[in-house]
């Protein structure tokens, strides 16, 4: 089945209540006005490999120590 995104959105809108259709419309308008921010990856390629391997290892260890722990009492 080769259905376009627009057609799929229209199909979903058809089964939604009108108040949700309005929310989709508002969201689509917001997205249409938004601008993509950031730096294209192509511009970042010259920096590839510029972090020394020792620093990368330190970062990896810090992430593993700090991010792989769950504090059940935190919430």
pLDDT at 46: 94
Rounded to the nearest 5°, which phi and psi values hold at 11?
A: -60, -40
Quote the CA–CA distance of 8 and 20 in Å, as a whole number. Answer: 16
Digit-by-digit pLDDT tens for the chain (75 residues) are 567 999 999 999 999 999 999 999 999 999 999 988 899 999 999 999 999 999 999 999 888 887 766 667 776
pTM above threshold 0.75: no
Tokens representing 55 are 């620093």
């Amino acid at each position: 089945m080769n259905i376009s995104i627009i057609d799929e959105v229209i199909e979903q809108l058809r089964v939604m209540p009108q108040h949700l259709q309005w929310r989709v419309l508002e969201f689509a308008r917001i997205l249409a006005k938004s601008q993509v921010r950031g730096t294209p990856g192509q511009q970042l390629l010259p920096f590839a490999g510029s972090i020394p391997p020792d620093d990368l290892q330190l970062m990896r260890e810090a992430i593993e120590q700090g991010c792989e722990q769950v504090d059940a009492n935190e919430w």
